[in-house]
Structure 1
């Protein structure tokens, strides 16, 4: 029997050595805030101001519009230093209407930073999805924001030797409670299993799951398998519930964009979806 059997889901070889910890998690007491984004500000500034004091969390955005607006989509990598990469930058002229977005909020080089995935309608009527550039996108019409996070754990952008990308990584700031748990999943780890393991380790019997990431060839519960090695994912609805024998069961309803720009939505098949580059998640006790 092979010592390293092939996993029952698609994976993508990474350029660097695998990190020994296959998921990382730390948390603290929950902070919750809801607010409208200030008009005329960049997305980064409009989110960072109202979240002063929160060191790590997730922000869900709905409605409103942006102008100017710019984004990238997932792409295959021609550079052997990376397993997947980004497309060229797209800058649709006019006002782009936001459907929804999810953003990881933390810090990079000591300053506030966001990692944002979303879906939207461009001025020509096309529905698109991808990775927003928050320091360049400007709020044009009222966007509603709701944030869950903590002051006692942080998302910090740090080098990730496995992927060669700088990635948000959870850092403990003395938090002991797990009312809000920040979870990073490493590449090629099955995301449901990692979420369930983190919830069990931090004694979360039931939790809401929010966040973003990427999946290798996403597999849906209805049988669809999307043949894309690179993707951008946002969780539309996620949860962890108590399972048999003290276990946990994760449920994830997502939107994902593939390298061709097609958007796919629905409930993922549990046990069949591996992280591509990373997953950044916020679990809050339910």
Structure 2
């Protein structure tokens, strides 16, 4: 059952509801040196990568010290949700983590959601602050570079937030992928299924992060909270040719409760935004 009615943003609805830029994706391998901040290390890697934007996985990355925030209620009437106070940790390993890498005012910037195991305090999840996270050991990672467009931090009148939105650049020589931003109240499963049909992708890999107004799963208890931070887990696929998308999702709510399972159609309306890449053949 959709909980979309629980959230009403302060501004007028933006159009379109699905921002999509088609382009060319290729596998991306990179290294992050020990001792650098996550933001500086990723920026240096992107300078070498030769792509316009990227979505990367940071599973297994050792971090510390580090700061992060969790989802929280808004302190004012200008936003429907906000961030918690800043939390800190000394040493942790990211279990699963996805970072969208794009531009903010022309400079590299990243948006990262993760869950991790802290050596002292156990399991946590949330939004890592990239310039307040130190890479604790040399790391070799992978992801997907993208040419033909860029995730660019853009002010959004509907939500009063600034977040990544796909921006078209010089057209790629061919198309095998798309970078996407979904507006509030768009159902994630429905959107992915319809986008795959529109793009002609058959069961593409999907990576993405964002927030949901509650979540219903095929195989696990629902998340009731209309405020959350979420990330798609390994194995997410877009479906197509009569096949329903398979979107395993990890969620954390403002109370620090974790929820995990395969999303069902109609059970995952976007809260503020959802940023993702769909990678076809």
TM-score normalised over the length of structure 1: 0.91
SS at match of 1:150: strand
Equivalent residues of 1:10, 1:274 under 8 A apart: yes
RMSD: 1.5
> Does 2:173 align with 1:180?
no
- Alignment-derived partner of residue 190 in structure 2: 193
Equivalent residues of 2:210, 2:231 under 8 A apart: yes
Distance 1:16 1:154, change over 3 A: same
C-alpha displacement of 1:31: 2.5
- Alignment-derived partner of residue 249 in structure 2: 254
| Structure 1 residues not aligned, in runs of 5+ | 1-7
C-alpha displacement of 1:223: 5.4
The runs of 4+ residues in structure 1 deviating greater than 6 Å are none
C-alpha displacement of 1:200: 2.0
SS at match of 1:47: helix
> Does 2:34 align with 1:32?
no
- Give the Cα–Cα distance (whole angstroms) in 2 for the partners of residues 64 and 212 of structure 1: 18
C-alpha displacement of 1:122: 1.7
- Give the Cα–Cα distance (whole angstroms) in 1 for the partners of residues 195 and 11 of structure 2: 24
- Give the Cα–Cα distance (whole angstroms) in 2 for the partners of residues 114 and 129 of structure 1: 17
Equivalent residues of 1:149, 1:282 under 8 A apart: no
- Give the Cα–Cα distance (whole angstroms) in 2 for the partners of residues 127 and 142 of structure 1: 22
User: Can you list the C-alpha shifts for 1:179-212, whole angstroms capped at 9, x where unaligned?
Assistant: 1210100001101111122222222223100010
User: Can you list the C-alpha shifts for 1:7-49, whole angstroms capped at 9, x where unaligned?
Assistant: x511111111111211110021113212331111111121122
| Structure 2 residues not aligned, in runs of 5+ | none
Equivalent residues of 1:65, 1:96 under 8 A apart: yes
TM-score normalised over the length of structure 2: 0.93
- Give the Cα–Cα distance (whole angstroms) in 2 for the partners of residues 143 and 74 of structure 1: 28
Pairs within 5 Å for 1:113-192: 113-175=109-171, 177-192=174-189
